[in-house]
Amino acid sequence: MYENTALTEAIYYILLSLLRPNHGYGIMQSAEELSHGRVRLAAGTLYGALNSLCDKGWIVQLPVDPQSRRKEYEITERGRKVLMSELDRLRELVRNGEMMTGAAEADGEEGGRNDG
């Protein structure tokens, strides 16, 4: 996948949750909290995504803490760049959406008047 294309919602929330070190279950909870319960990452999906993100070098696995034995991950510089450019893309989507639907509503009103 080229790095300038859209991220999936799962990847977006995983990267956000890894701005600070976090483990798998923590990522699931953080995504759910951030989205007010809308985004629920299932464990299998998350596991696959974490592996591919490590392969891509967008996140790294931190040395395992022998006490908790849970694997923790954190975003890398590269991952941060991908996240920031996704944020730009999302801003553009919202900007265009608001602009065009605003324009569409105005058109609709005009159309209504013409019909009348």
Partner 1 sequence: MAEIKTIRKWFWVWDFEKEERWLNDMAESGWALVSVGFCRYSFERCEPGEYIVRLEAHGFDEGYVSFMEDTGAEFVGRYFKWIYFRRKSELGPFDIFSDIDSKIEHLKGIARMIAIIGGANLVIGVGNARYSPANLLCATLLMYGLGRIHEKIEQLKRERELHE
- Residues binding partner 1 (CB under 8 A): 8-10, 23-25, 28, 40-49, 69-71
Residue closer to partner 1 by CB (options 21, 111) is: 21
Helix (H/G/I), strand (E/B), else coil: 22: strand
Q: Looking at residue 1, what DSSP letter applies?
A: -
Give least dist CB 30 to partner 1, A. Answer: 13
Give least dist CB 51 to partner 1, A. Answer: 9
Residue closer to partner 1 by CB (options 42, 113) is: 42
Tell me the longest C-alpha to C-alpha distance in the chain: 75
Give least dist CB 25 to partner 1, A. Answer: 5
